[in-house]
Structure formats: C-alpha cells, structure tokens
Amino acid sequence: MPGQTRTVKSILAAALLAVSLSAAGDDHRAKINYMLYCQGCHLPAAEGLEDKVPRMSGFVGYFTHSDEGRRFLIQVPGSATAPVNDEQLAELMNWILRTYSADELADGFEPYTVAEVAELRQTPDTDPAARRKQILEDLSKKNRQLRRSLAQPATSP
C-alpha cells in the first residue's frame, strides 16, 4: 500500500509538471506566433501605427466588455485568416489580451476556447473599420475609462 501511494503521488506530480510545462510552452508558442503574424503591423510592443494600425497595448481588452467586441477580435481579418489553427489562435488571442491589455479586460473575462474560435473565424469581418468604430462607440457610452482613452490624441486605438 505505501508503495502504491508513492506511485500515485509520483504520477500526479509528473502530470502536474507536464501541465505546467504545457502552459508555459503555449505562452511561448503564442509569443512566437505574435512575432510572426501580428508584430509586423502592430509592432513589437503592440503599439500600432497612428491612424493606420490599431494599438492593442492598453486597449484591446476593452473589446471583451461586449459580446460583439469579443466576436470582433476573432473575426477581424488579421485574426480570422491568420495561418494558425484554431487552438493556436485561441492561445494567441488570450496571450495578447493578458500580455498587452490585462487591466482593460472585462470583469469575469473568460479566455477564448478552441470551439469558440473555430466557429467565429468562419465568418471574417468584411468591413472591420466600420464595425470597430461602432463597437467602440457603443462601449464608450458605458465605460468612462474607454471614453478617456479614445479622447487621447496619441496613437489611435
């Protein structure tokens, strides 16, 4: 019996280690995918280019405050058509949100799931600029901090 207990504990410890390493590997893979597929436009610190490429840093998390905004982040063409699988896109978007905009996330934010991403990316947005503008207008009516961020003349969101 003591030998079995030790074996079970060893198996559980190995499983926990594997899960921990897997999570760390996923973040590493997400960072690499950001560098390969996002950074060219959004830049290394996700700051974007004023009036050309939306910044994500300190901003993209606001989209999680509405269902429409949440869908938009996956349906925007750069996400929906990224050359990664659904698991990698969910991982990438969750990493971007945690890394560049954790303070702006909606209370109770639930990470994207593979199934959610698989469904949403089937219908890429055809007019992301107009949809983005509408989502931000709607969100800013309810969120004072977002209104202030939109009013700042620095890099456009």
SS3 142: coil
pLDDT tens, position by position, for the chain (157 residues)? Answer: 555 655 555 554 444 444 433 434 489 999 999 999 999 999 999 999 988 999 999 999 999 999 999 999 999 999 999 999 999 999 999 999 999 999 999 999 999 999 999 999 999 999 999 999 999 999 988 878 777 777 665 444 3
| pLDDT score for 154 | 46
Per-position b or e across 21-39, b if 16+ CB within 10 A of its CB = eeeeebeebbeebbeebbe
| pLDDT score for 108 | 95
Give strand pairing partners of 53. Answer: 49
| pLDDT score for 124 | 96
| pLDDT score for 7 | 56
Domains delineated in the chain: 2-151 (1.10.760.10)
SS3 106: coil
Give strand pairing partners of 49. Answer: 53
Residue among 135, 134, 87 at smallest CA distance from 111? 87
| pLDDT score for 128 | 95
Q: Token pair of 71, please?
A: 């869908």
Q: Token pair of 37, please?
A: 């597929």
The Cα–Cα gap between 134 and 140 comes to 10
| pLDDT score for 9 | 54
The Cα–Cα gap between 52 and 57 comes to 15
| pLDDT score for 152 | 64
Show the CA angle centred on residue 75, arms to residues 69 and 77, nearest 5°: 125
| pLDDT score for 148 | 76
| pLDDT score for 16 | 42
